[in-house]
């Protein structure tokens, strides 16, 4: 998949600076001073990201990104400008679905990080669009590599969720969406720094706010990749709580989609029975006791009871669902 980034700016010294900055990053950089030439690139090659200046003589950056949206809708669009105001922001969002704004003069590390995240976002979207189970699972496993404590997490969550789904007699189509949603529920973590994911102590307020962004980011990617609505909902809402105190939307009770309530229980149980940077894993019995105490606050009471009964039976008879 492409890792090519096209920079468009009418000032040559800006393009020279960008070329030098990305020389050792492994990202392929194209550059042009002419917005019309930028459009021509899209007929010749696959471009993952376009970074465009806004105020250029021949064409505004917002207009260029709007044209790119029509020509190559999956290309991630970044607007670079020396002066950002409310009208510019709204225009860019409405016309070009801009991923990020970058102000001049930029911070080098921030620019490299933002462009790198945009490339990863593009590549994830292309992977999701292939609708190939092996590709989706491989993507989920790649995301897990960012956090050494979650290896195998997505597959185990899927196994527990499908166990509940069997009891609820959900349709095969719903079970497939559940499986994909479990595999991809943490795909938004691709944009979270490893130092936060693997921090041994408690997160501070700023770090937690970064973590809280991952459901929306992941859901946006899944939506752009035209994944089923159920998969998008699972990714977006898997940190909601039954009493409404979760994030990102604060919905509660039956307003939380059934499939999400199922996945949340599976997710919490696997987190409790896995090692984490800040604690060792709990025993099965302790974890079951903890999720029982979460009934009505974090977790759906009825589904918790279904999970506990089925988990104990499956463990006794070794009849966990195969993925």
Tens digits of pLDDT across the chain (323 residues): 679 999 999 999 999 999 999 998 889 999 999 999 999 999 999 999 999 998 898 898 988 999 999 999 999 999 988 766 656 666 666 665 788 888 888 999 989 989 998 998 898 888 888 777 888 888 787 777 665 556 788 899 999 999 999 999 999 999 999 999 999 998 888 777 777 877 777 888 888 888 888 999 899 889 888 899 999 999 999 999 999 999 999 999 999 999 999 999 999 999 999 877 667 889 999 999 999 999 999 999 999 999 999 999 998 888 887 76
Q: In this structure, which CATH number among 3.40.50.2300, 3.40.50.300, 3.30.1360.120, 3.60.20.10 belongs to the domain 4-124?
A: 3.40.50.2300
Question: Which residue stretches of the chain are H helix?
Answer: 12-21, 35-41, 61-71, 86-96, 108-129, 133-144, 153-168, 172-184, 194-197, 205-212, 214-224, 229-237, 258-272, 284-293, 301-317
Task: Check: pTM over 0.95? Answer yes or no.
Answer: no
Residues 6+ apart with CB under 8 A from 143: 186, 187, 189, 190
CATH number assigned to the domain covering 132-317: 1.10.3210.10
Nearest to 185 by CA among 113, 119, 136: 136
* Segments making up each domain of the chain, as ranges: 4-124, 132-317
Per residue in 163-206, pLDDT (tens digit) is 999 999 999 999 999 999 999 998 888 777 777 877 777 888 88
- Report pLDDT for 199: 76
Between CA 235 and CA 39 the distance in angstroms is 34
- Report pLDDT for 92: 65
């Amino acid at each position: 998949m492409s890792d090519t980034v096209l920079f468009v700016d009418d000032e040559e010294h800006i393009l020279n600076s960008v070329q030098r900055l990305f020389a050792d990053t492994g990202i392929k950089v194209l550059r042009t001073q002419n917005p019309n030439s930028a459009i021509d690139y899209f007929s010749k090659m696959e471009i993952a990201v376009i970074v465009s200046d806004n105020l250029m003589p021949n064409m505004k950056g917002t207009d260029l990104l709007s044209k790119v949206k029509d020509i190559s809708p999956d290309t991630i669009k970044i607007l670079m400008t020396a002066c950002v105001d409310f009208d510019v922001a709204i225009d860019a969002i409405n016309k070009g679905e801009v991923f990020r704004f970058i102000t001049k003069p930029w911070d080098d590390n921030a620019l490299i990080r933002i462009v790198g995240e945009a490339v990863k976002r593009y590549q994830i979207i292309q992977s999701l669009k292939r609708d190939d189970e092996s590709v989706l699972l491989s993507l989920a496993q790649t995301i897990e590599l960012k956090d050494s404590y979650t290896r195998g997490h997505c597959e185990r969550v899927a196994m527990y969720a499908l166990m509940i789904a069997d009891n609820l007699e959900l349709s095969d189509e719903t079970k497939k969406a559940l499986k994909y949603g479990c595999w991809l529920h943490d795909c938004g973590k691709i944009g979270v720094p490893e130092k936060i994911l693997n921090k041994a102590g408690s997160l501070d307020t700023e770090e937690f706010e970064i973590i809280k962004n991952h459901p929306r980011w992941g859901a946006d990617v899944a939506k752009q990749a035209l994944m089923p609505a159920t998969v998008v909902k699972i990714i977006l809402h898997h940190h909601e709580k039954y009493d409404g105190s979760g994030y990102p939307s604060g919905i509660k009770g039956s307003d939380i989609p059934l499939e999400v309530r199922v996945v949340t229980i599976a997710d919490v149980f696997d987190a409790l029975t896995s090692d984490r940077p800040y604690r060792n894993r709990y025993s099965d019995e302790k974890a079951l006791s903890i999720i029982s105490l979460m009934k009505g606050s974090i977790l759906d009471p009825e589904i918790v009871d279904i999970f506990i009964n089925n988990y104990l039976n499956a463990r006794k008879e070794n009849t966990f669902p195969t993925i």
